[in-house]
Amino acid sequence: MLTLQCPYCGVDAEETELTAGGEAHLKRETVGASDDDFEGYLFMRENPKGLHFERWRHSYGCGKWFLAARDTNTLEVFGTYPAQSKEPPKDLRDKISAKRPGWSWREFK
Amino acid sequence: MSEPVSFLGGRVAEGAVTVRDAGLQGMITLRGDLAATKVKNVVKKVTGQAIPAQRKALVEGRRGALWMSPDELLLLVPYAEAEEAVATITKALRGVHHLAVNVSDARAYVTVEGAGAAEVMAKNAPVDFSAAAFGAGDFRRSRVGQVAAAFWKDEAGAFHVVSFRSVGDYVFDLLRVSAEAGPVGALS
Ligand SMILES: [Zn+2]
């Protein structure tokens, strides 16, 4: 059972209150994008065994989207943060570094 | 004019834990900046309450304010006053980005009361209902069984459950059957 803390409600919401929303921090390619960039935006996703950044929605709760960092293998949750974040916050990255030294995920490390 | 009736029509399932239709209740969805002075003032005017803190319910009789999300409240007013209250809010918040809608008839409203009420709730929602974790005035939006619901606990230990009208039958029966089955002792 996965439990994520909703950054808006502050509740530890268990999986059945949540809806998964795929990969976090996707940059939308739009008019003027190259075919490669647009293809990447539409289809290319990370599929790690380990650290991953995802979008989740507290659908049975406040209804807000938020972002989460967790390990897809162990289900360890590193933290959650607001959907408006352009990148994982520094304190969260530091926390991940303490547990997974040398980690990287897309452009983040 | 036709006589308004609540969706559950006054249904009551009596027992050690009693599940009852809470009857007609005015409910208004209010979205906007909850920190704005104009919003605070009109909530006070309509419900007599301040803006509730995160996951809190401030309720006195048929009036109250429930924290639905960082930008949403569910306001409680007497059923007959709901339309007037929406008009008051709309007038007070003219020019302020907001949304106020009378949702009274779109909801079913159930009370769960009795010594084992917390256990009846705990059977159906993924929430810690121990007295230490969920006290009087605490509020949650979650699910009961398979449907979305919002609920809070009052000073007497009773739970007040709000759901969509369309699933009101399901919610009432789910809570009734859970109450009939008796306590499991998990929270005692
Ligand atoms: Zn939430």
Closest residue on chain A to B126 (Cα) = A14
Average of per-residue pLDDT across B133-159: 97
CA atoms within 13 A on the CB side of B44: 9
B142 and A64 within 8 Å at the Cβ level: the answer is: no
Q: Of the CATH numbers 1.10.760.10, 3.30.2270.10, 2.40.400.10, 3.30.70.20, which one belongs to the domain with range A3-99?
A: 3.30.2270.10
Range of the domain at B44: 26-104
pLDDT tens digit sequence for A25-79: 999 999 999 999 999 999 999 999 999 999 999 999 999 999 999 999 999 999 9
Q: How confident is the model at residue B15 (pLDDT cuts 50, 70, 90)?
A: very high
| B174 part of a folded domain | yes
Q: In the block, which residue shows the tokens 């293809």?
A: A39
Closest residue on chain B to A7 (Cα) = B70
pLDDT tens digit sequence for A1-26: 899 999 999 999 999 999 999 999 99
Structural domains of chain B, count: 2
Give the end of a domain, one of B74, B104, B134. B104
- How far apart CA B16 and CA B113 sit, in angstroms, is 9
pLDDT of residue B46: 98
pLDDT of residue A57: 98
ipTM value, please give it: 0.91
Residue A49: strand, helix, or coil: coil
Nearest CA of chain A to the CA of B127: how many Å? 8
B100 and B167 share a domain?
no
pTM above 0.90, yes or no: yes
pLDDT tens digit sequence for A73-103: 999 999 999 999 999 999 999 999 999 999 9
B76 and B113 share a domain?
no
Close Cβ partners of B3 (under 8 Å, ≥ 6 residues apart): none
B70 and A64 within 8 Å at the Cβ level: the answer is: yes
* Cα separation values, B34 from A10, A75, B39, B40, B92, Å: 17, 35, 6, 7, 14
